[in-house]
Amino acid sequence: MIFIDCVIYSLQKSGGITVYFNELIKRISLAYPASFLLSRDYVEAKRKWAGKDFFCPERYRDIDCDNYALCHSSYYRISQNKNVKNITTVHDFTYEKFVKGPARWVHSWQKFRAIRYSEAIICISENTKQDLLHYLPDVDQEKIFVIYNGVSDEYFPLDNQAAQVRKRYVLFVGARGGYKNFTLAINVIAQLKDIELLAVGGGQFSAKELLILNQLIPNRFSHAGFATTEQLNILYNEALCLLYPSSYEGFGIPIIEAMRAGCPVVAMNASSIPEVAGDAAILVDKPEVAGFVDAINSLCNKEKINELRELGFVQAAKFSWDETFRQTVAVYEHVLGHPLPKRIDE
């Protein structure tokens, strides 16, 4: 039996790792209900999320999961029992690249320990695998499996006529700190007449962000708050484009969400982004205003928008949570040395 440690649900309400485990657990429950046990974190955190400021000591404790063959932690923990084999999914190396001091030391110690004690390591992109080998060159490459994230089929082009008319706003999705280059995005919009900036997720604007927004693009910005999948799909359908100037991503789920919804993507040509976006996005080589302004201006051409939409549909079709799940189960079976029993009624 496989133990899924769901501590991530006590650490965050949303985010890429949460989406990842949501999709895996949903499929596990349908296909292999007798082969897995979800930790109590899942039930407790689903009932009431603790919040960002909640200190979760469980995050740093080894897992008590005796009598299980495998343990797959959602956030860099390992089993207390040395006879239980560990599997770790590595999403990125943002702490190692952008965080300093005790927060980085503690995070990296826990992550590196989990990686070294794992029988199999799943990386969500080739770029993440290369980062892993950069920071941990001693890790056996035979243990590393690259399995891409998927994209929900709840993102799709809307058929109604109104959705065919692009509104004059650029979408910025997710966190905005540091390497996400939100200030760069503001400066880009400042150079584009009559275009607004709409942020989704990442928390409300900070006082510092509001100061810059009001200085550079007064009355041309807004925040949609936390959007449901249905709401975000509508925003993707209506936006002029997704602006994704992040300098580093382990994968970059919003890129393929936007593509699946038919929204053009303008992003940085960095880290895993070109790997995920392929030739279906406008990629800018440097984090400079002029390049992003030129890219967005090119979307005034309807032929360019239609070209990117069609390329985006093809690229997004390469990513599927069903395939992510299938490949992940294959890793479980590889480590176990035998196939998992499916539902009796199949």
Check if CATH label 3.10.560.10 holds for domain 161-316.
no
3-state DSSP helix/strand/coil % of the chain, to nearest 5 = 45, 15, 40
pLDDT of residue 165: 56
pLDDT of residue 34: 79
pLDDT of residue 89: 98
Which string of DSSP letters, residue by residue, matches 189-209? HHTSTT-EEEEESS-SPPHHH
What is the topology classification, in CATH, of domain 2-150+320-336?
Answer: Rossmann fold (3.40.50)
Fold matches, 2-150+320-336 and 161-316: yes
pLDDT of residue 54: 45
For the chain, the first-to-last Cα distance in angstroms comes to 19
Within 48-158, where are the H helices? Answer: 94-98, 102-116, 126-135
- In whole angstroms, give the CA distance from residue 168 to residue 194: 7
pLDDT of residue 45: 47
Domain ranges of the chain: 2-150+320-336, 161-316
Q: How many CB atoms neighbour CB 1 within 10 A?
A: 13
Q: Which two tokens stand for residue 267?
A: 């992003």
pLDDT of residue 252: 95
**pLDDT tens string for the chain (346 positions)?**
888 888 888 887 777 898 999 999 999 888 888 788 776 554 454 444 444 444 456 788 888 888 889 999 999 999 999 899 999 999 999 999 999 999 999 999 999 999 999 999 999 999 999 999 999 999 999 999 999 999 999 999 997 544 455 678 999 999 999 999 999 999 999 999 999 999 999 999 999 999 999 999 999 999 998 899 999 999 999 999 999 999 999 999 999 999 999 999 999 999 999 999 999 999 999 999 999 999 999 998 889 999 999 999 999 999 999 999 999 999 999 999 999 887 555 4
Q: How far is CA 267 from CA 148, 170, 256, in A?
A: 19, 12, 12
Report whether 194 contacts 168 (CB < 8 A): yes
298-332 pLDDT, tens per residue?
Answer: 998 889 999 999 999 999 999 999 999 999 999 99
Positive/negative CA dihedral, 6, 7, 13, 15:
negative
Report whether 239 contacts 167 (CB < 8 A): yes
At 252, which amino acid appears? G
CB under 8 Å to 92, separation ≥6 — which residues? 124, 128, 131, 248, 249, 250, 251
